[in-house]
């Protein structure tokens, strides 16, 4: 009986190991993928075209240093709307971000004493996005 079980297990291992491997994509190494800009549409294509033109932050998402940020010369925060949520790391060794809402035309002071002002830029038209 033990020989029959061992023989059937041996057959199961042999049939499982005979499966073929499909490698046609690896064989055709002479073909490259096309440019991703050709396949992108809408917001993704807008962002790729802006980066290609030299604007690496078309939606104002990168963080930056606030500088002096006094009441006379506040730190300018760019936005594509009339309001934006802004986070301030008051001291370099802080682990907490202090959040505040900025509105167009109303400079705001953080708890640490730095001033912020909002600068509104026109957003791209939804129906004028590149195809």
Tell me the per-residue pLDDT of 114-130, one tens digit each, with 9 for 90 and over: 999 999 999 888 888 88
- Cβ-contact 69, 109 below 8 angstroms: no
Closest among 123, 122, 124, 118 to 78, alpha carbons compared = 118
- What SS3 class is residue 107? coil
Taking CA atoms, 83 is separated from 53, 69, 98, 119, in Å, by 27, 19, 17, 9
pTM across the whole model: 0.67
Domains and CATH numbers, the chain: 2-31+60-122 (2.60.11.10)
User: Phi and psi at residue 101, in whole multiples of 5°?
Assistant: -95, 135
Q: Which tens digits make up the pLDDT trace of 34-75? A: 788 888 888 999 999 999 999 999 999 998 888 888 999 999
Report in angstroms the alpha-carbon separations of 119 from 7, 60, 67, 71, 113. Answer: 78, 11, 16, 15, 20
């Amino acid at each position: 009986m033990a020989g029959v079980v061992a023989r059937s297990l041996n057959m199961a291992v042999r049939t499982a190991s005979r499966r073929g491997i499909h490698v046609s994509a690896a064989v055709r190494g002479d073909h490259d993928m096309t440019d991703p800009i050709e396949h992108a549409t809408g917001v993704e294509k807008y962002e790729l075209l802006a980066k290609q033109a030299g604007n690496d932050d078309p939606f104002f998402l990168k963080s930056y240093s606030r500088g002096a940020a006094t009441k006379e010369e506040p730190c300018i925060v760019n936005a594509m709307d009339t309001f934006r949520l802004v986070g301030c790391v008051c001291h370099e060794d802080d682990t907490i971000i202090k959040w505040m809402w900025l509105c167009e035309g109303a400079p705001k002071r953080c708890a640490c004493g730095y001033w912020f002002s909002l600068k509104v830029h026109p957003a791209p038209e939804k129906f004028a996005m590149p195809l």
